[in-house]
Amino acid sequence: MDDRQRELHARITARRGGVRGPFRVWLHSPELCERVESLGAFARFESGLPKRLRELTLLMAARHFDAQYSWNAHVAAAVEAGVPEKAVQAIAERRTPEFTDEADTAFHAFCEELLATHFVSDDTFARAHAHFGSRALVDAIGSLGNFTMLGMCLNAFQVDLQADREPPFPDIRGFARVTGDGDRPQP
């Protein structure tokens, strides 16, 4: 590492307890790493969203991009923050989760629609906006964007899948999608 990479390595270690996962990749581009680390810290720790919704955006983006490392690193924190275990399981299985809180249902619908279709219908936007307002929805979009970039980095560079952890998604093994019978699809 050069001096700039060592400086960032020390800063990330001080803030996050070590350089793991995507930061090992992002250090190859120190300027990007610095900006991504700052955005990621905001999305995870400082956003206007309640912690359960910050963690929910992470799980949704991780599943959308099949980012197993992110999922495994955050699934326990999401449940601890208040995301129901049944909702977590539904997301892992690509099913629509059921929430007891209408605000959480509206938030999930907003994020899912944006991830899946790249747009949000007027009705979905109005429901989410009524519960959360503009700032929280902007923060949600920022979180989804950050965690999407994170998932792409992890998968493109095949970052350690945490061998001691159970693969979280039934249709992904290693860094490839599997068919219903467990075989990898042919290119």
pLDDT digits 0-9 by tens, 12-63:
899 888 888 889 999 999 999 999 988 988 998 899 999 999 999 999 999 9
Would you say residue 175 lies in a domain? no
Instruction: Indicate whether 132 and 85 sit together in one domain.
Output: yes
Instruction: Indicate whether 69 and 149 sit together in one domain.
Output: yes
Per DSSP, 37 falls in state H
pTM: 0.88
Instruction: Indicate whether 41 and 8 sit together in one domain.
Output: yes
Q: Which two tokens stand for residue 96?
A: 């629509």
d(CA 164, CA 178): 21
Total structural domains within the chain: 2
Would you say residue 81 lies in a domain? yes
CB 71 within 8 A of CB 63: yes
Would you say residue 140 lies in a domain? yes
Instruction: Indicate whether 7 and 99 sit together in one domain.
Output: no
Would you say residue 180 lies in a domain? no
H helices of 101-178, in order, are 102-117, 122-156
Instruction: Indicate whether 27 and 81 sit together in one domain.
Output: no
